[in-house]
């Protein structure tokens, strides 16, 4: 059982037959009941969708994952349908930081600071109702009118955003972002950046596996706020969490 699993993708250039393609390498980073990180797998795929994600979840299930409390993702296509078929009780949470970054892609650099300030009342709201009211206020305000795609992007993912507001601050701090997996990606990019492209999927998998093995040796401490979060998980999820501690 993993209270939290982060899913994200790293892009690599890999030769496929006669052409070099930009492929996605998907990583699953689990946080176990003691708060320790563990890489659960990596999968290489050219396109994402429900069929691909179903394969990923079945792989995790066949290798012993029995339950996932919260899956933190960045609006991956086909993800909700696939996880519902495999782990129907898992709550899906969109990464708030990714959503903010996506919002900033619609505005000029000089306006980004103002946009971040305007979005803050949404994701810092006390509950889902207050968050939706803040989103509506943004939508009807100056920046919402100037950049309509921002509010539209939040609306499209709103069902995966709202679970966030049911969590107490201790849990919010941990699931707020996919920083844990992004830090992992940054370390992997340092290793692969000077290699041009890989001759095959297998070559890329081998190098990433060896790199992940070395990186994970340094993971010995849970997040500082894990004990507070664990108490909240015990209350929110009951035996699904406490039986694993």
**How do residues 92-114 score in pLDDT, each as one tens digit?**
888 787 788 888 888 888 988 99
Q: Given this model, what pLDDT does residue 176 score? A: 67
Range 43-48 average pLDDT: 77
- Is residue 146 scored above 80 in pLDDT? yes
- Looking only at the bridges linking them, the beta strands covering 37-45 and 19-31 are antiparallel
Task: Identify any residues that bridge with 23 across adjacent strands, giving them in sequence order.
Answer: 12
208, 155: one domain: no
Q: What are phi and psi of 25, to 5 degrees?
A: -105, 110
DSSP structure class, residue 162: G
70, 187: one domain: yes
Q: Given this model, what pLDDT does residue 222 score? A: 82
In the chain, the number of structural domains is 2
pTM assigned to the model: 0.83
The answer for residues whose C-beta is within 8 angstroms of residue 60's C-beta and 6 or more apart is 28, 40, 41, 86
152, 32: one domain: no
The CATH number assigned to the domain holding 57 equals 3.30.420.10
Cβ proximity of 242 and 234 under 8 Å? yes
Average pLDDT across the chain, whole number: 87
Q: Given this model, what pLDDT does residue 133 score? A: 95
Q: Give the residue from 141, 169, 197 where a domain finishes.
A: 169
The answer for residues whose C-beta is within 8 angstroms of residue 61's C-beta and 6 or more apart is 86, 87
Instruction: Round to whole Å and give the CA distance between 77 and 223.
Output: 29
25, 85: one domain: yes
For 47, what's the count of Cα atoms within 13 Å in the CB-facing half-sphere? 4
Interior/surface letters 183-205, b for 16+ CB within 10 angstroms, e for the rest: ebbeebeeebeeeeebeebeebb
Instruction: Round to whole Å and give the CA distance between 109 and 7.
Output: 28
- Looking only at the bridges linking them, the beta strands covering 68-73 and 19-31 are unpaired
163, 184: one domain: no
79, 190: one domain: yes
Range 10-24 average pLDDT: 86
Q: Give the residue from 112, 141, 169 where a domain finishes.
A: 169
Range 143-157 average pLDDT: 91
- Say how many C-beta atoms besides its own lie within 10 A of residue 166's C-beta: 12
- Is residue 89 scored above 90 in pLDDT? yes
Please tell me the least confidently modeled range out of 72-81, 119-128, 139-148, 154-163: 72-81
65, 128: one domain: no
Q: Which of 83, 98, 66, 78 is nearest to 175 (CA)?
A: 98
Q: Which helix (H) or strand (E) holds 18?
A: none
182, 81: one domain: yes
Q: Give the residue from 169, 185, 214 where a domain finishes.
A: 169
Cβ proximity of 43 and 25 under 8 Å? yes
Please tell me the least confidently modeled range out of 147-151, 224-228, 237-241: 224-228
DSSP structure class, residue 167: S
Widest pairwise Cα distance in the chain: 55
Determine the number of helices (DSSP H) and then strands (DSSP E) in the chain.
13, 5
Q: Compute the residue count for the chain.
A: 245
Confidence category of residue 46, pLDDT binned at 50, 70, 90 = low
pLDDT, tens digit (0-9, with 9 covering 90-100), for 170-211? 788 777 655 677 778 788 888 887 777 889 999 999 999 999
DSSP structure class, residue 26: E
The answer for residues whose C-beta is within 8 angstroms of residue 27's C-beta and 6 or more apart is 7, 8, 9, 10, 39, 41, 42, 181, 184, 185
Confidence category of residue 57, pLDDT binned at 50, 70, 90 = very high
pLDDT, tens digit (0-9, with 9 covering 90-100), for 60-70? 999 999 999 99
17, 89: one domain: yes
115, 227: one domain: no
Domain that includes residue 216, residue range: 2-95+177-242
6, 74: one domain: yes
């Amino acid at each position: 059982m993993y209270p939290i699993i982060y899913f994200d993708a790293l892009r690599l250039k890999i030769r496929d037959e006669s052409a070099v393609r930009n492929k996605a390498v998907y990583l699953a980073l689990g946080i176990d009941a003691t708060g320790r990180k563990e890489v659960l797998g990596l999968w290489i795929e050219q396109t994402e969708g429900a069929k691909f994600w179903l394969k990923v979840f079945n792989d995790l299930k066949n290798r012993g994952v029995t339950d996932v409390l919260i899956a933190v993702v960045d609006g991956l296509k086909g993800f909700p349908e696939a996880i519902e078929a495999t782990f129907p009780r898992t709550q899906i949470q969109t990464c708030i930081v990714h959503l903010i970054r996506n919002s900033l892609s619609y505005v000029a650099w000089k306006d980004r600071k103002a946009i971040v300030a305007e979005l803050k009342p949404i994701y810092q709201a006390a509950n889902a109702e207050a968050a939706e009211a803040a989103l509506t206020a943004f939508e009807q305000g100056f920046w919402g009118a100037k950049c309509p795609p921002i509010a539209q992007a939040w609306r499209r993912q709103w069902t995966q955003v709202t679970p966030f507001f049911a969590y107490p601050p201790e849990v919010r701090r941990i699931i707020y972002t996919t920083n844990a997996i992004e830090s992992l990606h940054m370390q992997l990019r340092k290793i692969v950046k000077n290699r041009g492209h890989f001759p095959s999927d297998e070559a890329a998998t081998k190098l990433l596996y060896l790199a992940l093995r070395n990186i994970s040796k340094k993971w010995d401490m849970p997040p500082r706020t894990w004990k507070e979060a664990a108490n909240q998980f015990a209350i929110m999820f009951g035996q699904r969490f406490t039986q694993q501690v």
